[in-house]
Structure 1
Amino acid sequence: MPDVIVIGAGLAGLRCAGLLSARGLDVVVLEAADAVGGRQRTDIVDGFRLDRGFQVLNPAYPALRRSVDLDALALGSFPVGVRVRTAEGMAELRHPLRYPQSIAASLRSGLVNTRDAVALARWATPALVHPLSRLARNDVAVREGWDAVGLRGPLRTAVLEPFLSGVLAESRGETSNTFARLLVRYFVLGCPGLPAQGIAAVPEQLAAHARTTGTDVRLSVRAGRITALGEQIRVEVSEGDSVSAARVVVAVGPDAVTDLTELARPATNGLQTWWFAAAEPPTASALLTVDGRGHGPVVNTVVMTHTVPSYAPAGRHLIAATCLLPRGGDPAEELEVRRHLSGIWGSDISEWELIRRDDITDALPAQPAPLGAARSPRYAERLYVAGDHRDTASIQGALASGERAAHAVLSDAGYSSSATPLRR
């Protein structure tokens, strides 16, 4: 009988399993899908690498740096900035400290004025100098946070709102002001990018490490009813006999956690990604592009192959376009997406080939104000829960939650604590 069963081979589950098996526990991971990764999956389609929805990886995440060998991922880094389609044309705003030569162009863009720049600094600076606990005091929605510092001009309406709507998967400004500042801190400190082999390289590395330390990862095995039997917990599975262990960690996504526990279904936000192939790119820029004119449905678009050429076959380019996917609303259709993309890029895209459309209903857990403390992994006697819906809606949150669950299991099992301080 194994010591621990981990249900779910996403980032939280794999990180938890790897830490437990490294301490000598006998760990079995049950994963319903045919590969590890959860929401971090990559498919090869006609020679193109398509992640399950547009994603980025920020090497500034503390839990990521603790968990994986970043050098082995061969990250391609996006430029730290954004291109904005305006009524007058295309403008670029870049990180002023990393690209000081871009400051003059930013000022000429009409998107930045002194009042907005001061207000943005007033809003963002505390995230760079204060701990999360202090930032979270008197938390409000991000729209209220911007109002409070006087950020109301085009830097907000044409840049920050469209940019963050794609990051947060919502456009109403309801997300926690503290969480938005936390993400901006990571953007300032890191250079987000993608592994050469796709976002799936992250869970694959975690799985390889877990297997090396003794974890048994079983794919295409769907966990069912969980029953406590004295000092054991039994997990029924879709195929074969049930599996029992001394402890169980439920590390599934927000869409599946209610199938295995009595927890309420976490609220989530959805995203839709369109993947297009083209012989010629619409721009030489690798910057993420947004529409500052308030048009939709596309919230951002980018030429992936300018940052990660391995995402497309030689001589071809891959363009991603992301839209919000409102729960209960109508998803964007190809005709309107193409029309909007043509307006953003200012070019004819009729020859672009649609490779795939990804509708990710539960792309991210919703993160409304006030931002609460990370939830305890302890759910019941010998039963634990992990995932980004228990922490923050990010890769950082998923990994940190997996770590927290592993430390709880070790502590309850009587192992001496060797916990690394965990930061959100």
Structure 2
Amino acid sequence: MTTADRELDVLVVGAGLAGLRCARALVDAGREVEVWEAADEVGGRIRTDRVDGFLLDRGFQLLNPAYPAVRRWVDVDALGMQPFGAGVVARTGDGGDDLAVLGHPLRDPRRLPGTLRQVAPRPREAAALARWLAPLLRAPSGRGLAAHLERDTDPPWRTALDTAGADGVLRRVAERFLTGTLLEDDGSTADGYVQLLVRTFLAGVPGLPTDGMQALPRQLADSLGARVRLGSPAESLTTGGSGVLVAGPAGTVRAVHVVVATAAPEAERLTGCPAPAMKGVVTEWFATRQPPGRLGRYLHVDARPVAAGPLVNVAVVSASAPSYAPTGRHLVAASALMGPGRPAPGSAELRHHAGDLLGCVTSSWETVGRHEVPHALPAQPAPLVTRRPQRVADRVLVAGDHRDTGSIQGALVSGERAARAVLRSGAPAVAVR
């Protein structure tokens, strides 16, 4: 067996949310930990580019402070959160300006009259959506919620809507909003998972940190200091003997435990743990000097019977998060699905559909960035499974949202679970040499 240049107690491969949370939990328990990250920055899929004074997250993302793991392990106040409007604006094709504004009645009471005007004429549609959400409405609060929704008969969410008899405008608004949240238009995600998301949306208002989404993983990494080594990919992993050999550009280390907290395809390469199907998104970022639309703080979706373009949503990001654009400029994020057999739409197509949804002229818009993210979210098929196995060998574990739920919540919880598994093992710790 190849000899090691150094010995470690625990090596965490990957400095995304799961890896950082895992490392922090182990350090808090007194273990010696090192984190290897292949990229030049922490964050994994959560990265923020700075371009000409604009902040561009790699793929449109939002942070919901209502996630239990975020409340527990993140200093949300230090992030300087900038909330979006608590609702959605949908172009419905119903005539007139055909814009339906559906707001959270408790978190955005100013929109309550407009929301009632949309819902009151459609009592049958509203009742069907209530039937769809019945498992959630009957669910216990706290930790029992996920177990309540993990049903053997859990169908895909679109099938559950059909069973509830949901149709019409309100269903289309819900479907198009969820299409952008789940990055799918086939309705295949487990209904139990969708209801978990709905509970989170009801509990909090998503927003963006002042310094961009990457401020979240940077905060987690700051407390780890020099334990995080950037530009340090794991090239191979070999189990056996008294530890796990991991080879990298700077040499080979032997670790008592290794936690692979990379993206799912890379975790499969290193460990053989099968990666789930992954869903992709393309986000184009447009800059303009004219305020786009009159309801910029809300996410906009296309809820017409036949969507007029490829976008799953469009947002005037700077209307909610002024730090994302320089003074006198506005920033628009337009997102569409991409993946195998679905090439990413071009800039002109995205721009045209964005202007249609916002109700504004786009001839002066300039592209300031474009991100194509083929592995943005892991698939979460029915039935709902919130805890997938993490141990792949005696001393090797895998962490990430693909081992839990495909979300910031899932990534953080997965990292914590991996750390607890290491601590339960009883294997002796070694000093870093």
Query: What is the TM-score normalised by the length of structure 2?
Result: 0.91
Cα contact 1:277–1:319 (8 A) shared by 2? yes
Paired residues of 2:146 and 2:386 also in contact (CA < 8 A): no
Among 296, 299, 302, which residue is 1:288 paired with?
Answer: 299
Q: What is the match of residue 57 of structure 1?
A: 63
**Residues 86-137 of structure 1: CA distance to partner in whole angstroms, max 9, x if unpaired?**
3222221101233445343224347961012122223225325332222221
CA RMSD of aligned residues (A): 1.6
Letter in 2 for 1:43: D
Q: CA deviation at 1:409?
A: 0.4
1:109 and 1:185 map into 2 onto residues whose CA distance is: 22
Give yes or no for the alignment of 1:26 onto 2:32.
Answer: yes
1:341 is matched with which residue? 354
Name the structure 1 match of 2:331: 318
Q: For residues 290-338 of structure 1, give each alpha carbon's deviation from its aligned partner in whole angstroms, at most 9, with x where no partner exists.
A: 1111222011011111111010111111110110113232210112112
Paired with 1:204 and 1:258, the residues of 2 have a C-alpha distance of 26
**Structure 2: distance between partners of 1:99 and 1:208:** 35
Q: Among 133, 154, 168, which residue is 2:182 paired with? A: 168
User: Residue 156 of structure 2 contacts residue 190 of structure 2 at CA under 8 Å; is this kept in 1?
Assistant: yes
Q: Which stretch shifts more, 342-351 or 377-386?
A: 342-351
**1:289 counterpart letter in structure 2:** H
Q: Aligned partners of 2:106, 2:126: CA distance in 1, in Å?
A: 14
Task: Note if contact 1:112-1:155 (Cα within 8 Å) is conserved in structure 2.
Answer: no
State yes or no: 1:365 paired with 2:378: yes
Query: Would you say the 8 A contact 2:378–2:406 is kept in 1?
Result: yes
The structural deviation recorded for 1:288 is 0.4
> In the alignment, which of 228, 231, 235 is matched to residue 246 of structure 2?
235
1:92-131 → structure 2 map (5 Å cutoff): 92-109=101-118, 113-128=122-137, 129-130=139-140, 131=145
Counterpart selection for 2:317 from 295, 304, 327:
304
Opposite residue 35 of structure 1, the aligned amino acid is E
Distance 2:389 2:184 in 1: 26
User: Which amino acid is 1:9 matched to?
Assistant: A
For the 8 Å contact 2:156–2:188, the answer to whether it is kept is: yes
Aligned counterpart, 1:269: 279
Query: Residue in 2 aligned with 1:85?
Result: 91
Contact 1:111–1:155 under 8 Å retained in 2: no
Q: Aligned AA for 2:301?
A: V
1:259-306 Cα distance to aligned partner (Å, 9 max, x none): 101122211111110100111121242000111112220110111111
Q: 1:251-270 alignment to 2 at 5 Å? A: 251-270=261-280
Quote the residue 1:37 is aligned against. Answer: 43
Query: Which runs of 5 or more residues in structure 2 are unaligned?
Result: 1-6, 429-433
Confirm or deny that 1:187 pairs with 2:193: no
Deviates further, 293-302 or 159-168: 293-302
CA separation in 2, counterparts of 1:169 and 1:260?
27
Equivalent residue letter for 1:52: R
- Do the aligned residues in 2 keep the contact of 1:83 with 1:289 (CA within 8 Å)? yes
| 2:126 partner SS | helix
Give the AA of the match of 2:268: T
- Residue 31 of structure 1 and its aligned partner are, at CA, apart by 0.5
CA 135–112 in structure 1, closer or farther in 2 if over 3 Å, else same: farther
Contact 1:124-1:185 within 8 A present in 2 as well? no
Letter in 2 for 1:313: P
Question: Is 2:390 the partner of 1:377?
Answer: yes
Deviation at 1:232, TM superposition (A): 1.4
| d(CA) in 2 for partners of 1:208, 1:134 | 36
Question: Which residue, out of 219, 233, 257, partners 2:230?
Answer: 219
Residue 431 (structure 2) aligns with: none
Q: What is the one-letter code of the residue matched to 1:319?
A: V
Percent of aligned pairs sharing the same letter = 49
Q: Which amino acid aligns with 1:406?
A: A
Count of aligned pairs between the two proteins? 410
Determine whether 1:75 maps to 2:81: yes
Aligned to 1:418: none
Shift in Å, 1:410: 0.6
Letter in 2 for 1:96: P
Contact 1:5 1:249 in 2 (8 A): yes
Structure 2 residue corresponding to 1:141, chosen from 132, 156, 173: 156
Letter in 1 for 2:322: P
